[in-house]
Amino acid sequence: MSTFATNLTVDELKAEADRLFSRKRLMNFGLPALVLAYLVYVFFAFDVPGIAARANWDNGKTLVSDSYSYKTHIERDNRTGEVSAAIEGERKGAYPEGQAPDWVVLGETTVIDLEDGHVVRFGPETVEYDIPGYGTIRATPSRAAGVQAEFPSREVPDWINVSKNRLAVTTDAGRLTVTRNRSEVFRYFTGWELFWFTLDSPYYGKSFPELAGRAASGEMGAIFNDFWTNKMWRHQDVAWAIFETILMAFLGTLGAAMVALPLAFLATRNFNPMKSVRFATRRVFDFVRGVDALIWTVVLARAFGPGPLTGALAILVTDTGTFGKIFSEALENVDQKQIEGVQSTGANAPQRYRFGVIPQVTPVLLSQLLYFLESNTRSATVIGAITGGGIGLLLTQAIITQKDWEEVAYYIVLIILMVMLMDWFSGWLRKRLIQGETGKKRKPRDPNRKRFLLP
């Protein structure tokens, strides 16, 4: 009878196949529909339609244009009549007094050439702006009457913004602002300003062959010093910040591995027969892992203050939990035969661990360690932004000023390069140390090479 029960008729088989098909069809359409439904829910939960209204696209535009271009300010103090030039309007980018870029002619009437026929003249009384195809705008600032502007046409175009005390003209060539106290012209250039040398350096504006020539004639140190102490880009501080970030990752990862390895033995079934200790160690690992780097950073920053040490310790504590878990899993999977083999030669306990256990788990340990070294470089950037250390701090500072977007772009490029470099380095080291790690079938390892690492 039982054989008959499994011996289904054609109809039953067909019905079953139909059921299977409809279930698969349901899965095939149901799953994407579920994902879609969730995304729609998130769309409204995050108020994405509202974002479009709240978003400040002007901010975005400044951000993008500022990240690859800079502006030079030519400013006239209308009370004293002094004209000064500064890159980005910053003091550290200011031209020495009485000097200006070569497209500005200083004098009683300062003539600023914005190219393509756009010329601005700062006269003793009036400011004039020649705009090709439109005409000349005249503005007379005075303390009593505000800014009196004359336009060639009756209709004021929308790129000119005029009020009693202020005139602003924005064209493709630049921007002119006149108020009672000052007249100011911005001219935009592509590139990162003063990246190599600031204006007060004798090497500013020199071509590369000339610099190379000077370097050859013994000015190498001075040239490098001027570059290294560049006030605008602070290359020295940036290099230190990157070093700090990598240091955080390095100390945190290796420190965590050193703390976690002995503890991992306590959390394994085959090395630690005491169930209560095993349980307690595992819960400790779960706890430090669960508390998360964010909370550790907050707590440790209170004790140690901001800096790379706090970041390193936060990484160390969090990763101790992760490493403890991974290492203890690896240790539970070791082959008992090798340990017995070592024991049969009369080895004592430390020797058994050293020659029976460690060589078996080294590949797992190392590959995890190197993987975390790379991922912690990224974490160190993030933690640095919170606790105040390394490149993460510089990045947040540059973003907070909301105007140094070229520096933000520079830091982002550096961070990406740093992480990619660490990724490549850890991959290279992994391949060197653990041969055949990438392949599924582990090739016989060269015993000479490994022993160098663990004496």
Binding site for another protein (CB under 8 A): 35, 38-39, 42, 45-48, 51, 54-57, 59-60, 63, 244, 247-248, 250-251, 254-255, 286, 289-295, 298-300, 302-310, 312, 378-379, 381-382, 385-386, 388-389, 392, 395-396, 399, 402, 408, 412, 415-416, 419-420, 423, 448, 451-455
Q: Which is nearer to another protein, 13 or 421 (CB)?
A: 421
Q: Which is nearer to another protein, 220 or 454 (CB)?
A: 454
Q: Which is nearer to another protein, 265 or 371 (CB)?
A: 371
Structure tokens at 435: 């041969």
Backbone conformation region of residue 307, classed left if phi is above 0, alpha if psi is from -120 to 50, else beta = left
Structure tokens at 419: 């992480």
Q: Which is nearer to another protein, 209 or 346 (CB)?
A: 346
Least separation in angstroms between residue 427's CB and another protein is 11
Q: Which is nearer to another protein, 25 or 182 (CB)?
A: 25
Least separation in angstroms between residue 449's CB and another protein is 11
Q: Residue 347: phi, psi to the nearest 5?
A: -75, 145
Rounded to an integer, what distance in angstroms lies between the CA atom of residue 307 and that of residue 403?
25
Least separation in angstroms between residue 309's CB and another protein is 4
Least separation in angstroms between residue 359's CB and another protein is 13
Residue keyed to tokens 């030669």: 345
Contact 315, 252 (CB under 8 A): yes
Cα dihedral 241/245/246/251 (nearest 10): 130
Q: Which is nearer to another protein, 168 or 298 (CB)?
A: 298
Separation of CA 442 from chain center: 36
Q: Which is nearer to another protein, 169 or 394 (CB)?
A: 394
The 10 Å CB-count burial string (b at 16+, else e) for 283-309 is: ebbeebbeeebeebbeebbeeeeebbb
Least separation in angstroms between residue 446's CB and another protein is 13
Q: Which is nearer to another protein, 72 or 376 (CB)?
A: 376
Q: Which is nearer to another protein, 10 or 45 (CB)?
A: 45
* Long-range Cβ contacts of 99-106 (<8 Å, 24+ apart): 100/74, 101/72, 103/187, 104/74
Q: Which residues pair with 424 in a beta bridge?
A: none
| C-alpha closest to that of 341 among 360, 361, 326 | 360
Structure tokens at 313: 């310790």
Least separation in angstroms between residue 424's CB and another protein is 9
Least separation in angstroms between residue 267's CB and another protein is 16
Judge residue 354's burial from the number of C-beta atoms within 10 Å of its C-beta, 0-12 exposed, 13-18 middle, 19 or more buried: middle
Rounded to an integer, what distance in angstroms lies between the CA atom of residue 319 and that of residue 250?
12
Least separation in angstroms between residue 225's CB and another protein is 22
Least separation in angstroms between residue 60's CB and another protein is 4
